[in-house]
Structure 1
Amino acid sequence: MQAITRVAELRHALAEARKEGKRVGLVPTMGYLHEGHLALVQASRTRSDITVLSIFVNPTQFGPNEDLSTYPRDFIRDEQLCRNAGVAILFAPDAREVYPTTFETFVEPGDLAMPLCGAYRPGHFRGVATVVCKLFNMVQPDLAFFGQKDFQQCAVVRRMTVDLDLPVNIVTIPTVREPDGLAMSSRNRYLSEEGRRRAVTISRGLLAAADKFRSGERDVEKLIAIAKEQLNRVDRVQYLELVDAHTLKAAESPLQRPAALCAAAYVGSTRLIDNVILSLPTPDGKRSLGD
């Protein structure tokens, strides 16, 4: 595995592979890797010839009172996990490499960035779209792999890729969960043992609503109420919304289109997000997915 910090070195390392027509997969991360990230690596290795994993804690997607300075970092641990997982190139630029002093151009996403997390984190998806666009241009991957846990981010990135004619296929991988259902996240390390027990009620609520949906419930308010009933041990529910899986607008009753039940909640000072996709049966007995 090559560990690279400069864009020029990255392009040089990938040049020979491109000449040979090899497919490049990109797994963009902010580091402090967990099994969810490694599932993305596995998916990339299955569908690509070369997997590039990037580690960059992107300052432009953090608000002034958010956890940029304390976001978990452990590069030595991450590097070893990448080696063990079969990553070909670990790309870990510093902030000056991504945002030089002369930098002034940003990608401004549209309506998909407005609801859910976008309503509470102004500028967040502007930072996400900008850094992902830059990573796409730096790596020039054929495929890029993202986790469903960041459902809105996936929607924003997919729309940006289409709108800006970027030649990248976006692949979304199902959320990887702990045995008790808690969605894996680098921020889980902030939780105390007691907070960890309370945090799992987020996924329990979402999964309970998904079970009712599979049993035939299609009323939006009832599904939200089922989820909310479980979220009784978090300190604050920032949002719990059922949205159209494609537009992210509020879903209408009865559900007739793929939808996503999305939540953001605080356990102590730790903000956690999660979601479940409510997929509708199709005539052939399969289910249509929101992405």
Structure 2
Amino acid sequence: MGALHDGHIELVQRSLTHNDITVVSIFVNPAQFAPHEDLSTYPITFDSDMAMLEKVSVAQIPQKSCVVFLPSVSDMYPSGIVQDVEEQKGTFIEVKGYGHQMEGKSRPTFFRGVATVVTKLFNVVQPNRAYFGQKDIQQALLLRRLVRDLLMSFPSPENLVIVPTLRSSIDGLALSSRNVYLTNVERKFAGALFEALEAGRAIWNNQDGRSRDEVVAAATTVIRMRAEEAERQGIQMTLDYIEMNDPDSFDVVDWLSTHRARPVILSGALKIGRTRLIDNLLCGDSGDIISS
């Protein structure tokens, strides 16, 4: 959706490395925003986006082609689009049973908007491969299911590539377009979510047979301690959720000993001031999910 950062550029680099032609779509999708969310203030940075793409496609991998696709709202939604789902008209895509967990619990219409716009983009471009970031793990896995359920050939499910999250070298904060909303003081606490998820994963790694509650409690304790520190500096930190979910069903995982043979998603959402951050880690072997 624009406001490109190094995490996006990593996706572009992956594509340029493995494909002759790379298409980068930039489109701020109204269907992904509920009426109370930040569509009107979402950062639009077209000039810097183009500069970043030109640098990576020309200077680093000059023999490959990079095309930027910039559709208008009317191009993508010929029947029109409003943010209120109840008022929308036209064709929309919903992946039933997989959009109400994790992020979907807090943003109930979000994945309907994602599934719809990505289906349109795949229809327009018909890519052999598509690249998505692990930071939005539920989104990426849901899209794999979408292309499988709709029998899409472009891309096939195995060619929907999920690339590891790119992080700050200082505190592990996952790179995100919304990080620009953070004030300088808020930024000092933004690594708390990654720190919390690491604490939870350590319990999973070291305590065989322990419950989901113990993992979540370890992560939540880190958030509580950091929130108390932030409050002393006038910063409000509010935890939305920390949860452990199955990567196939997105159902909550209770007893972790039964999932040792397969990965588990440990994810969370944290609000710092007015900025909502999301992140996730995979517990266990992630080889079938993430492209190294």
TM-score of the alignment, normalized to the shorter chain, above 0.5? yes
Unaligned runs of 5+ in 1: 1-29, 281-286
Q: 1:260 aligns with which of 262, 265, 269?
A: 265
Residue of structure 1 equivalent to 2:163: 173
Residue of structure 2 equivalent to 1:133: 119
Residue of structure 2 equivalent to 1:76: 47
Residue of structure 1 equivalent to 2:251: 249
Q: 2:241 aligns with which of 239, 256, 262?
A: 239
Cα distance in 1, alignment partners of residues 209 and 28 from structure 2: 39
The question of 1:192 aligning with 2:183 is answered: yes
1:212: how far off? 3.4
Residue of structure 1 equivalent to 2:37: 66
Cα distance in 2, alignment partners of residues 189 and 226 from structure 1: 29
The question of 1:112 aligning with 2:98 is answered: yes
Return closer, same or farther for 1:288/1:76 CA change in 2, 3 Å cut-off: closer
1:218: how far off? 4.6
1:213: how far off? 2.8
Identity %: 41
Residue of structure 1 equivalent to 2:128: 142
Cα distance in 1, alignment partners of residues 103 and 23 from structure 2: 28
The question of 1:56 aligning with 2:48 is answered: no
1:96: how far off? 1.1
Cα distance in 2, alignment partners of residues 246 and 195 from structure 1: 35
1:114: how far off? 1.1
Q: Which amino acid aligns with 1:32?
A: A
1:288: how far off? 5.0
Deviates more, 1:103-112 or 1:176-185: 103-112
8 Å CA contact 2:136, 2:279 repeated in 1:
yes
Residue of structure 2 equivalent to 1:13: none
1:108: how far off? 1.2
SS at match of 2:213: helix
Question: What CA deviation, in whole Å up to 9, does each residue of 1:9-30 have, x standing for no partner?
Answer: xxxxxxxxxxxxxxxxxxxxx0
Cα distance in 2, alignment partners of residues 151 and 254 from structure 1: 20
Residue of structure 2 equivalent to 1:20: none
Q: CA RMSD in A?
A: 1.6
SS at match of 1:272: strand
Residue of structure 2 equivalent to 1:271: 276
Cα distance in 2, alignment partners of residues 210 and 99 from structure 1: 41
Cα distance in 1, alignment partners of residues 20 and 289 from structure 2: 28
Residue of structure 2 equivalent to 1:223: 215
Residue of structure 1 equivalent to 2:85: none
Cα distance in 2, alignment partners of residues 136 and 129 from structure 1: 10
Unaligned runs of 5+ in 2: 58-64, 81-88, 228-235
SS at match of 1:76: helix
8 Å CA contact 1:277, 1:289 repeated in 2:
no
Residue of structure 2 equivalent to 1:161: 147
8 Å CA contact 2:199, 2:219 repeated in 1:
yes
Cα distance in 2, alignment partners of residues 78 and 174 from structure 1: 21
SS at match of 2:92: coil
Return closer, same or farther for 1:147/1:251 CA change in 2, 3 Å cut-off: same
| Higher strand fraction (1 or 2) | 1
Count of aligned pairs: 256
Q: Which amino acid aligns with 1:129?
A: A
8 Å CA contact 1:146, 1:170 repeated in 2:
yes
Residue of structure 1 equivalent to 2:77: 99
Cα distance in 2, alignment partners of residues 209 and 122 from structure 1: 26
SS at match of 2:194: helix
Cα distance in 1, alignment partners of residues 116 and 256 from structure 2: 37
8 Å CA contact 1:245, 1:259 repeated in 2:
yes
- TM-score, normalised with respect to structure 1: 0.84
Q: Which amino acid aligns with 2:251?
A: K
Cα distance in 2, alignment partners of residues 125 and 67 from structure 1: 16
- TM-score, normalised with respect to structure 2: 0.84
Cα distance in 1, alignment partners of residues 13 and 135 from structure 2: 17
